[in-house]
Structure 1
Amino acid sequence: MEFFNSAPGKNITFMRPPYFIIRGFIGIPNVKYYYVFLFFVYILSVLGNTAVMAVIYLDHNLRTPKYIAVFNLAFVDLFGSSALVPKVLDIFLFNNNIIPYNDCLTFLFFCYTCLSMQSFNLVALAYDRLVAIIYPLHYQVKVTNRFMLSLIASFWLFAIIAVMISVGLITRLSICKSVVINSYFCDHGQIYRLACNDNFPNDVVSFLYPVLIFWLPLVFILLSYLYIGYTLAKVATVEEGSKAFKTCIAHLLSVVVYYTPLLITFTLMEKIHPNNRIINLSLTSVVPPMLNPIIYVLQTQEIKLSVKKLLKIHVRSKVTNRKSVIA
């Protein structure tokens, strides 16, 4: 095929391949068990996040800034899992690893947008906890439903623009080195390195994107909790501090689940095998959406009470219907 045969240089003919070949999990022993794991993780993600969204929507007491952010996190987790996992299973489990060029860029856009919004949602929840604990008397003024909706909308806009820039820069590349992508999805970094023309802008974006999307949010989250801890240590008793931190447990667990695989991968990038890196990054994409609804249901008192209340109403309605049928 002609796009494999072009010599790189200033005068190369622009070449856009008709397709890419995804080969991320090739050579990994017993990888089919991992696909089964992905399938069950996806089912749990769909059920869990749908349940959290339904509970928040049905219970008017949960129409607060915090739960607007939790609702959006559940939506992003559901949307992101649905954009990624079925396609990954189709590619690797059913050997449909040839993906058309435009479909690949669309796949990249949705995956990157959802990964970005997962990180930004954690920032929104961190800000909510920061104000609620440090400025409890001003919380209802500083963090309103309108403010939280505006903040989340801003994050969506920023994520979409950032990813669209990444996708747009790929379309200017002449792909002539190969069409094989050694990742589990259409990864920007893997694609732009296949180009024969100048890919410096893509290199810059590849450096800036993790900084803006992952590391700066993580720094903000860590600093917010350091400030919370410092402030509580000065003005609160041990019991008051413990009670305040209990309201942060669900968020802290979500932060740990989301960022730990990323930190391991990027810290030990040169030391870990490429296959382990691919699996580690794929776990970052699929495990948090599964665990987040479990974390928030088990660790958040308001959601637990809401679930119990909704179940009681459901049971009562069933009993009432049975009685009416008997009568």
Structure 2
Amino acid sequence: MVMSWTNQSAVSEFLLLGLFWKPQLQQILFIIFLSMYLVTVLGNLLIILAISTDSRLHSPMYFFLSNLSFVDLSFSSTIIPNMLSNHIHSSQAISFPGCLTQMYFFIVFVAMDNFLLAVMAYDRFVAVCHPLHYATKMTHQLCAMMVTGSWVIANGNALLHTLLMARLSFCADNRIPHFFCDVTALLKLSCSDTHLNEMMILNEAALIVIIPLICILFSYICITWAVIRVPSTKGKWKAFSTCGSHLAVVSLFYGTIIAVYFSPSSAHSAENDIASAVMYTVVTPMLNPFIYSLRNKDMKEALTKVIYINFFSFQQWRGFKCHKGMS
């Protein structure tokens, strides 16, 4: 299948029209997206480092959060560096295999975001609704199995859509009105029958989004019902505060996904789709570390410790280098 890419398609590369179609905005947009990407990388790396080094954060909730940070970091790295590189080299081109590779990893990380948000909702459900059985229910083996299973399903789903896309022919127009190789944008360019691809997106890929979303909604309905029955206002606030960060991330992620892929086609425009895509591919991965750390006392303390230790170590290293240079 892979060997037939060149034979199947008259198009050897695509042109990503992207976000830099207006010359007067190119430099500003480049600086904005470079800054957002650097913040995303730094924020998510700090989350992963803080969780791995602080023993107080070695719990299921933070295990899932570290995986989410890794996925968000990888998600942004699949798209933004290529977009910025194309701008630097004044090129919009991406090869056909490169486009399919980007599409593959995009699908993997979107699916993983869905699964991890659902798993984290289940974790909060057990913590709030069954606190006495939390340790016995959320075992290390179960957590590892849920994350591993999510990776397997996500990669299988991405492989299916990539192979289906590889069998299509692209004859004339190779301009993609997007800043990455999105599945729907590629299907519009194909000059062969895309019925099977579209059917699989509607049936199989939709389940990747809908089933986790149903699990999240069910978990929070149960959580809300359990919190309502808590007699004290302080107890209610404490229960809701443990879920607030996750709810904010869920709302941001699913709101933009639904706006792009589940809204009527008449409501779609290239500008609106790109704006929504920027939200879930760039903005959400950047905001997640702030959302989870600013509302969590243990996370803030762990991050402060990590930043202080690294800054102190850097200062010591600078002092050592200066002293060595003077001697």
Residue by residue over 1:30-73, the C-alpha shift from the partner in whole angstroms, topping out at 9 and shown as x without a partner, is 54233322111101001101111111111122111111100001
Structure 2: give runs of 5+ residues left out of the alignment: 1-6
Residue 286 (structure 1) aligned to one of 282, 286, 307? 282
- Residue 183 of structure 2 is matched in structure 1 by 188
Q: Secondary structure at the match of 2:109?
A: helix
Residue 117 (structure 2) aligned to one of 122, 133, 136? 122
Using the TM superposition, name which of 187-196 and 55-64 deviates more.
187-196
Residue 20 of structure 2 contacts residue 29 of structure 2 at CA under 8 Å; is this kept in 1?
no
Residue 9 (structure 2) aligned to one of 15, 30, 35? 15
**Displacement, 1:131?**
0.5
C-alpha distance 263-199 of structure 1, shift in aligned 2 (>3 A):
closer
Whole-Å separation in 1 of the counterparts to 2:312 and 2:191: 67
Q: Secondary structure at the match of 1:247?
A: helix
Whole-Å separation in 1 of the counterparts to 2:316 and 2:181: 53
Q: Secondary structure at the match of 1:17?
A: coil
Residue 25 of structure 1 contacts residue 275 of structure 1 at CA under 8 Å; is this kept in 2?
no
- Residue 24 of structure 1 is matched in structure 2 by 18
Are 1:300 and 2:305 matched, yes or no? no
Structure having the higher helix fraction is: 2
Q: Secondary structure at the match of 1:99?
A: strand
Whole-Å separation in 2 of the counterparts to 1:69 and 1:255: 14
Whole-Å separation in 2 of the counterparts to 1:316 and 1:72: 28
Are 1:254 and 2:240 matched, yes or no? no
C-alpha distance 66-15 of structure 1, shift in aligned 2 (>3 A):
same
Whole-Å separation in 2 of the counterparts to 1:47 and 1:318: 16
TM-score (norm 2): 0.86
- Residue 269 of structure 2 is matched in structure 1 by 273
- Residue 264 of structure 1 is matched in structure 2 by 259
Are 1:58 and 2:40 matched, yes or no? no
TM-score (norm 1): 0.86
- Residue 221 of structure 2 is matched in structure 1 by 226
Q: Secondary structure at the match of 1:149?
A: helix
Using the TM superposition, name which of 207-216 and 137-146 deviates more.
207-216
The total of aligned residue pairs comes to 311
Residue 119 of structure 1 contacts residue 214 of structure 1 at CA under 8 Å; is this kept in 2?
yes
Q: How does 1:49-198 map to 2 (within 5 A)?
A: 49-92=44-87, 94-198=89-193
**Displacement, 1:308?**
3.9
Residue by residue over 1:172-229, the C-alpha shift from the partner in whole angstroms, topping out at 9 and shown as x without a partner, is 1122242222221111122223333322111112223552232332222122111211
**Displacement, 1:93?**
5.3
**Displacement, 1:310?**
4.4
Residue 10 of structure 2 contacts residue 172 of structure 2 at CA under 8 Å; is this kept in 1?
no
Residue 227 of structure 2 contacts residue 240 of structure 2 at CA under 8 Å; is this kept in 1?
no
Whole-Å separation in 2 of the counterparts to 1:239 and 1:76: 34
Residue by residue over 1:276-307, the C-alpha shift from the partner in whole angstroms, topping out at 9 and shown as x without a partner, is 22122122101111111111111112212223
**Displacement, 1:235?**
4.6
Cα root mean square deviation, aligned: 2.6
